[in-house]
Amino acid sequence: MTGSPLRLRLNSMEFKVVELEREPIEFDLAIPPGQVDLGDEAKQMGNLATSGLAEVIHEHRGPKDIVADIRLRGKFSGKFEVPCARCVEPVEIPLASDFDLIFRPAGADSEATERSITAPETEIGYYQRDSLLLEDVLREQVLLSLPVRTLCKPDCKGLCPRCGQNRNSQDCSCDEGPSDPRWEALSGLRSQIKSSKH
């Protein structure tokens, strides 16, 4: 099994069940920015490297009930920019992860049945129309690998809630305190509660 002739078939990054039935497909790709849509969550910086193996696993659920699962094992690595949770300035973070995933045909699990694949490290997903797009898998894996909260630096001062100035680059002259009249009503309520308790 050689990787080079199969890479040409992966220009669209699509694994078709009919092709995987003939032989497993190895992939080793450098995906340029923009090919995997990460939305507003992150921005890809440079190529996203990914390699691995796609194959069909037949799940025998009965004499005439055979489900063609696609198993995708591989890894990815790349650099990404995500917004700082406080000041929204871009922060570059490296990401790398391995994956071992099973994809069933959509609707294959509409009835609860015993599953032959129970490996705890394997996650189950679904594919549509007899093929699986690698970019969809990579999008999900990258987004799952992103940190929940990223800061540009531990002591990031964030944005001023009144004027929106980035307090890391320049102090603003806004007064500290509630910037919304609704908060002022609440602060007045606090003093009323204190006085009614005495």
Is residue 100 pLDDT above 60, yes or no? Answer: yes
> Around Cβ 61, how many Cβ atoms within 10 Å?
15
Is residue 117 pLDDT above 60, yes or no? Answer: no
pLDDT in tens, 9-66: 445 588 999 999 899 999 999 999 999 999 988 999 999 999 999 999 888 777 777 7
CA distance 182 to 189: 11
Question: Tokens standing for 25?
Answer: 């497909």
As a 3-state breakdown, the chain gives helix, strand, coil percent values, each rounded to 5, of 20, 40, 40
What is the share, in percent, of the chain residues with pLDDT greater than 90? 49
